[in-house]
Structure 1
Amino acid sequence: MKRLASGLLLLLLAGCATVGPDYVPPEISAPAHWTAELEGGQTVKYVDIQALADWWTALNDPILSSLIERAVADNLDLKKARARVREARARRGISQADLFPAIDTGISANRNRSSEETGGGETRELYTAGFDASWELDLFGGKRRAIEAAEAELQASEEDLRDVLVSLLAEVALNYVEVRSFQTRLSIAEANLDTQTETYNITQWRFRAGLTTQLDVEQAGYNLEQTRSQIPTLQTGLEQAGNRLAVLLGEHPGFLKDILSEPKSIPVTPLEVAIGLPADVLRRRPDVRRAERQLAAQTAQVGVATADLYPKLSLTGSIGLEALSLGNLFLSRARTSAIGSNIGWPIFDAGRIRQNIKVQTAVQEQALIQYETAVLTALEEVENALVSYADEQVRRRSLLKASQAAQRAVDLAQNKYVSGLIDFQAVLDAQRSLLSLQDQLAISEGEATSNLITLYKALGGGWTSLVPDDKKK
């Protein structure tokens, strides 16, 4: 017994170390500033990334803000992500429970009759009651590494929840802007339709008065119907954007029809765009943080696999009562007890354990590469979003000037046509150019706001203020 105790003590002392690599977070290499620059009065303000928490408020649209709040509460993808967090938290609890002994209790009653040939045909009864305990000691840290992995996986699932939230906020805002963009384009098409209807009526009057030919009437007619044909396509786009927005809020398609029925202008982008420094963005973007936590989890899994190379010590014990009759079960002489230990150590497994270590190490290398990819992708997305936003602002300003000039050209052409100074083709060309430029301007205004939203998504803005506290559930 003394030798057994001494051996167990030596194993316990040896188990003070935890095998496998200790996790060291990789260093982040990021530029000091973004390379893209804004033009034409737009300025960049470098702020703490926390200031981007409520980025949508910069668009000054109360309806958008209310839709975002509803989406955070009811979006189905977000609910699914919350459920994954609860799953990961429960899995961590399972890993933590493996550190402790398992205790069972049981009561049994048996009645056995032996063969007359071998046991004289006797009938015996046996009653037992007691507790059994077993405990596999974590001598070399395999269970502790499993807890490390489960903890990191939990944190990765929390970052995944935040990543879903960042994407959700952007999707709600993008679809809302699309709704307003289609409404604006519809208004432009309908206004041009009214103008072209008036032009068509004028040509008919002039034809009846003998001042023009049937050709002018037909040209005005097909120009009018060509504009009218664009309206159903715009209405379809408007309906689809509204339906998508409703689904993002966890509602059935068409739910927002009354709320969005009154046309509103496209949200205007601010003159000053707040962004964070590259290093701050990398530290705050949920997808980068998730990749880092997945790397930490896989590093711990290497330790779990390495622990299989070493001995495992299990302790067992029981205490209870045992008697041949129920009446004697609770007497003092019915007490039983047992204690034991088991040491297992793999001697030959054809290299399975070492190959598993290589597998986990290779997966760890993949996780590191995935993290590095996430970092580069984050930097690329921000730079691309900045370039797109800056270039669209330049394009929008040019289209604004062009549409204003086109409006003046239409007014001049109509006046000269009525006065008989120019032919009708000049009026048609001016009206077509005006409709095209006004429509392109509306698209550009929507794109400019959408590009700003995409920029804030790339910066990882939004999750810090609205992410639900799921830790108490």
Structure 2
Amino acid sequence: MPLLKNRSTRAAPFVPRASGLPPFNPRRVCAAILALGLSACASVGPDYRTPTPVEYPVWQSQAADSVSRPATPALLARWWQQFDDPSLNALVDAALSGSTDLQSALARLEEVRARRGLTKAGQLPEIDASANARNQASRPNDQTLTTRSYSASADLSWEIDLFGGKRRAVEAAEADVDAAQADLYAARVSLVAAVASAYIDLRTAENRLAVLQATLASRDETDQITRWREQAGLTSTLDVAQSKSSLEQARAALPSVERSISEARNQLALLAGKPPGAIDGLVGPRRALPDFQFALGLGIPAQTLQQRPDLVAAERQLAAATARVGEAEAARYPKLVLSGSIGVDALSAGDLFRPEAVLASIAGGLSAPIFDAGRIKQSIAIQNALQQQALITWQASVLTALSEVENALVAWRTTNTRLASLDTATAAASEAEQLASQRYKAGLIDLSILLDTQRTLLSLQDQQTSAQGERAKALVNLYKALGGGWSPEAAGKTPAVGDSING
């Protein structure tokens, strides 16, 4: 603990003319104090410098070569609108205005802003005012004597930031606000991608259900034909049993797909901050997946690092940690606290404004740590370790961002290749099923051949529908990895929850 303590003393009543001293001038005193405070401009601790990212000049994936237009901020800000799907647009808008995650991130931003204001207030003087009136009764010589007194004062206390500890604290608070704002943007990016993914899951499950329903109609027809043939003595009871089994196997897949549809709808409601069923009107009836096409210029990796708000947040957290190292180091140095008081003290209210009633004092207290058992040293070591952790976190975030873009590009390329093969296979299987159905009706082939072609077609159609959803989600993940879903150009506005908020 400091061995020297700050003390504030009150001088004897100040009488200008009787003492021969110059009259007390509060303006000159405040000006002198302010000049002293402004003259303290040195700030201990390291000055922050933006770290240099890893060298990564070009994307490695071959899919990056298939771009057709640049990734402008305006395109990335509302990338989902290019798919021209009114339901998707409405769901994203509902989520941006009602998401509890965004509301929480916005509340966090407001908290950090308030903390910044509190930190800035610590740089300024504190002024307190008080006023008192007192009656005192005494009885000397069996007579009651009543005396009254009045006083009023204004007291000032100001810690001069000699070594920049408070300035470093404000610097850290500013970086905290920037990080919290970037976290809000990052939450928006994740929310938009989550809504798009849930919407794709919903449409994929609906299309799978449509495939199953069409298959059930086809197998039900086959089952009826098999029963008629059995009644006509053209086939056996074994064929009837096989036909019935194939029909029920297809029907057994319905509950699982229906559950997926319900879960996707509930997920969309949750993302919009609504109870289940509240956004069903926005979803609308079943429709095909949006026409997701890859028409996006990636640019160089360095541009992606500038677009992603999570990387901005990590870099700002590093800046805050660096500033707090200086704040901790400032505790090693002396502290100067100036205090002053000006007031009046009189026996009657009318005498309060007389010059001889004025009381004034100015004091300065200097304290310095001499022995603290290593507390300050350990505090500095803690802040240095936190700064190192923040640097490592930023470096890891950069590598994660690059990896996510590369993975999304690979997923886009491979899902397109897989879908192309499934399209060809499904078309051939559909033709085979039609031919087998015609031949079975004509009695030219066994039922087992028809059932095999039907099972093959159902499997391929289901894989094809799922692959369409996987390809769409790969593109969503690519937009998310590129930081799409917020606009740096809108950062100067003050819109609703989920939009850009100006610090």
TM over 0.5: yes
Give 1:468 deviation, angstroms.
2.7
2:47 is the counterpart of 1:22: yes
1:424 alignment partner in structure 2: 447
Distance 1:330 1:38 in 2: 84
**Which string of whole-angstrom CA distances, capped at 9 and with x for unpartnered residues, describes residues 28-82 of structure 1?**
224221111139xx92246245142221123221221122122112211111111
2:99 is the counterpart of 1:75: yes
Task: Check the 8 A contact 2:185/2:500 in 1, yes or no.
Answer: no
2:213 is the counterpart of 1:190: yes
User: Mind listing any 5+ residue stretches in structure 2 that lack a counterpart?
Assistant: 1-28, 491-497
1:59 alignment partner in structure 2: 83
Distance 1:313 1:385 in 2: 57
1:38 alignment partner in structure 2: 63
1:471 partner amino acid = N
Deviates more, 1:420-429 or 1:272-281: 272-281
1:321 partner amino acid = V
Deviates more, 1:321-330 or 1:64-73: 321-330
**Which string of whole-angstrom CA distances, capped at 9 and with x for unpartnered residues, describes residues 81-140 of structure 1?**
111111111111111111111111112234567899xxx998765432121111111111
1:140 alignment partner in structure 2: 163
1:76 partner amino acid = T
Tell me: CA distance 1:434–1:9, structure 2 relative to 1, closer, same or farther (3 Å). closer
SS in 2 for 1:258: helix
2:394 alignment partner in structure 1: 371
Percent identity of equivalent pairs: 45
Tell me: CA distance 1:112–1:387, structure 2 relative to 1, closer, same or farther (3 Å). farther
2:345 partner amino acid = E
Distance 1:115 1:20 in 2: 65
Give 1:258 deviation, angstroms.
3.1
Q: 1:151 aligns with which of 174, 188, 195?
A: 174
Distance 1:309 1:281 in 2: 42
Give 1:13 deviation, angstroms.
9.2
Task: Check the 8 A contact 1:302/1:360 in 2, yes or no.
Answer: yes
Give 1:401 deviation, angstroms.
1.1
2:502 partner amino acid = K
2:380 alignment partner in structure 1: 357
2:314 alignment partner in structure 1: 291
Tell me: CA distance 1:14–1:306, structure 2 relative to 1, closer, same or farther (3 Å). farther
1:202 alignment partner in structure 2: 225
Give 1:328 deviation, angstroms.
3.9
2:420 partner amino acid = R
SS in 2 for 1:104: strand
Tell me: CA distance 1:10–1:191, structure 2 relative to 1, closer, same or farther (3 Å). closer
Give 1:415 deviation, angstroms.
1.4
Distance 1:299 1:359 in 2: 12
Task: Check the 8 A contact 1:288/1:374 in 2, yes or no.
Answer: yes
Give 1:256 deviation, angstroms.
2.1
SS in 1 for 2:62: coil
Alignment of 1:434-453 (within 5 A): 434-453=457-476
SS in 1 for 2:336: strand
User: Mind listing any 5+ residue stretches in structure 1 that lack a counterpart?
Assistant: none
1:471 alignment partner in structure 2: 502
Deviates more, 1:202-211 or 1:107-116: 107-116
SS in 2 for 1:383: helix
Distance 2:386 2:335 in 1: 25
Give 1:247 deviation, angstroms.
1.6
Tell me: CA distance 1:9–1:330, structure 2 relative to 1, closer, same or farther (3 Å). closer
Tell me: CA distance 1:469–1:103, structure 2 relative to 1, closer, same or farther (3 Å). farther
1:94 alignment partner in structure 2: 118
1:364 partner amino acid = Q
2:115 is the counterpart of 1:84: no
SS in 2 for 1:259: helix
Task: Check the 8 A contact 2:150/2:349 in 1, yes or no.
Answer: yes
Distance 1:296 1:354 in 2: 21
Distance 2:465 2:144 in 1: 99
2:253 alignment partner in structure 1: 230
Give 1:14 deviation, angstroms.
8.0
Give 1:334 deviation, angstroms.
2.2
Tell me: CA distance 1:130–1:471, structure 2 relative to 1, closer, same or farther (3 Å). farther
1:307 alignment partner in structure 2: 330
Task: Check the 8 A contact 1:49/1:275 in 2, yes or no.
Answer: no
CA RMSD of aligned residues (A): 2.6
How many residues are treated as equivalent by the alignment? 463
Tell me: CA distance 1:202–1:382, structure 2 relative to 1, closer, same or farther (3 Å). same
**Which string of whole-angstrom CA distances, capped at 9 and with x for unpartnered residues, describes residues 297-317 of structure 1?**
000000000111111111111
SS in 2 for 1:371: helix
SS in 1 for 2:344: strand
Distance 2:185 2:166 in 1: 29
Task: Check the 8 A contact 2:314/2:390 in 1, yes or no.
Answer: yes
Q: 2:419 aligns with which of 396, 401, 413?
A: 396
Deviates more, 1:442-451 or 1:312-321: 312-321
Q: 1:246 aligns with which of 269, 278, 282?
A: 269
Distance 1:200 1:18 in 2: 87
Distance 1:469 1:451 in 2: 26
Distance 1:350 1:10 in 2: 35
Give 1:273 deviation, angstroms.
3.6
Tell me: CA distance 1:408–1:125, structure 2 relative to 1, closer, same or farther (3 Å). same
Q: TM-score, normalised by structure 1?
A: 0.92
Deviates more, 1:121-130 or 1:299-308: 121-130
Task: Check the 8 A contact 2:67/2:295 in 1, yes or no.
Answer: yes
Deviates more, 1:292-301 or 1:23-32: 23-32
Distance 1:444 1:29 in 2: 35
Give 1:175 deviation, angstroms.
0.7
Task: Check the 8 A contact 1:45/1:275 in 2, yes or no.
Answer: no
Task: Check the 8 A contact 2:76/2:486 in 1, yes or no.
Answer: no
Distance 2:485 2:396 in 1: 23
Tell me: CA distance 1:121–1:276, structure 2 relative to 1, closer, same or farther (3 Å). farther
**Which string of whole-angstrom CA distances, capped at 9 and with x for unpartnered residues, describes residues 452-471 of structure 1?**
00111011112116763433
**Which string of whole-angstrom CA distances, capped at 9 and with x for unpartnered residues, describes residues 260-292 of structure 1?**
241110112215343232110011111111110
1:340 alignment partner in structure 2: 363
SS in 2 for 1:437: helix
1:182 partner amino acid = A
SS in 2 for 1:384: helix
2:5 alignment partner in structure 1: none
Task: Check the 8 A contact 1:159/1:286 in 2, yes or no.
Answer: yes
Distance 1:323 1:287 in 2: 64
Distance 1:27 1:46 in 2: 28
